[in-house]
Structure formats: C-alpha cells, structure tokens
Amino acid sequence: RIAAITDYELRRELTLRDLHKGISNLNKFAQRKQIIPLCRESLIIATKLWADLRKAAQPTADNKNIDCDVIMVAQALKLQDRYDQIIILTIDIKDLVRFKKFGIEVWDWKQALVDWKYKEVNLYNPLSFK
C-alpha cells in the first residue's frame, strides 16, 4: 500500500514527463484500493512533526516546500497500530532515517526492487546508504 501523498508525488512526475503508461499503471493500482487516504488527523500529526523538526533545526525540506516526507511519516504514525510493520521505501534515506525512533523502517527503494526480483527480504541499516 502507498500513502496518498506518495500517489500525488509519483503522479505529478509521471504527468510532467507525459509517461501515460505509468499513469495508467498507477490508476490500476489505485483501483485495487491500495492507496492509504490522507485524513485530517494525519495532517495534524504532520503539522506538529513539521514544527518540531524546524525547532530542532532538522527540517526535511525548505520552509516553502509542502514537505511530503513529513506528511507521509504522519500517515504512517497514524496507521501504526493497524499493521505489524511500517516500511517506507524512498530515495531520500538521509531525511527519513530520523523517524526510525518511531518504529518506522526506512528502506532504499532501489535495493528493495532488487530484493523483490530475487524474492529476498533484507533488513538494511539505512545509515549505510549515503
């Protein structure tokens, strides 16, 4: 399953690049009800998380940026009690690794694709990805 904010980020890039097959595949994925909707409670969590990170001088994005990472993490935190494990696949390991303290696993998406291809699951130390 993917967070609605991830659907947004992926869809905007596919649309910008006119990658219609990718958009079609994303639509098929969404039809299988695999998108985790964005709810108000997640946005409230994201707001506090966003402010706390800035107060600690550890923002994940520029102040003018929508900061999709924080919204995605907030959704994960909101749904944590529904799932045995929350894993975020990302290219942005360095910004998201700080959320491991909340029990969220962060994996490099390229390595996860390789693992999936070979039907392996590895637990990674995100700090080893630079």
Phi, psi at 119, each rounded to 5°? 55, 45
Amino acid at 119: K
**Residue 20: pLDDT band with limits 50, 70, 90:** very high
pLDDT for position 129: 41
pLDDT for position 128: 44
The answer on pLDDT for 126 being more than 50 is: no
Q: Rounded distance, CA 114 to CA 36, Å? A: 25
pLDDT for position 46: 92
pLDDT for position 48: 94
What is the reported pTM?
A: 0.72
Phi-psi sector, 67: left (phi>0), alpha (psi -120 to 50), beta: left
Residue pLDDT, tens place only, 46-79: 999 989 988 988 887 887 777 888 898 998 898 8
pLDDT for position 121: 61
Residue pLDDT, tens place only, 96-114: 888 888 888 888 877 777 8
Q: Please give the mean pLDDT across all residues of the chain.
A: 82
The answer on pLDDT for 45 being more than 90 is: yes
- Helices (runs of H) and strands (runs of E) counted in the chain: 6, 4
